[in-house]
Amino acid sequence: MNELQQIEQNVSRLLTAYEQSRRDNEALQQQVSEKDEEIFNLRTELKQLQSEHRTLQTAHALTVDSPNRLKAKRQLQSIIADIDKTIDILKR
């Protein structure tokens, strides 16, 4: 009878450990989900900041006292020419 009680105690401990492991797993899965969402939000914010940075660089390059003004102006003219070509092609 003593062996049976020991087996029951072991099974009880295993069930308790299993339930705790299951709860821990659920908590960890929730943390992973939250971190994934946080990473997504940070990547979105990074893309937005990079876009704003490029806009500011362009704006700065177009200021009168900027040494890159001529280069930026040529790049913008090239982009505008490409857009004009695309519009002409689409009109056909």
The model's pTM is 0.55
- Whether 50 and 72 map to the same domain: the answer is no
Q: CB 46: neighbour CB atoms within 10 A?
A: 10
What range defines the domain where residue 82 resides? Answer: 68-92
- Whether 55 and 83 map to the same domain: the answer is no
- The CA-atom distances, in angstroms, between 53 and each of 3, 8, 47 are 73, 66, 10
- The CA-atom distances, in angstroms, between 27 and each of 18, 20, 22, 33, 65 are 14, 11, 9, 10, 57
Q: What's the confidence (pLDDT) of residue 13? A: 96
Look at the chain and report how many structural domains it folds into: 2
- Whether 9 and 45 map to the same domain: the answer is yes
- Whether 16 and 57 map to the same domain: the answer is yes
Q: What's the confidence (pLDDT) of residue 66? A: 63
How far apart CA 61 and CA 73 sit, in angstroms, is 8
Mean per-residue pLDDT, 61-84? 79
End-to-end CA distance of the chain, in Å? Answer: 94
- Whether 35 and 73 map to the same domain: the answer is no
- Whether 44 and 78 map to the same domain: the answer is no
How far apart CA 63 and CA 57 sit, in angstroms, is 10
Kindly report, residue by residue over 15-71, the tens digit of the pLDDT.
999 999 999 999 999 999 999 999 999 999 999 999 999 888 777 777 766 667 777
Question: Tell me, what DSSP letter sits at residue 1?
Answer: -
- Whether 55 and 75 map to the same domain: the answer is no
- Whether 21 and 51 map to the same domain: the answer is yes
Q: What's the confidence (pLDDT) of residue 4? A: 87
- Whether 79 and 40 map to the same domain: the answer is no
Mean per-residue pLDDT, 70-84? 84
Q: What's the confidence (pLDDT) of residue 70? A: 75
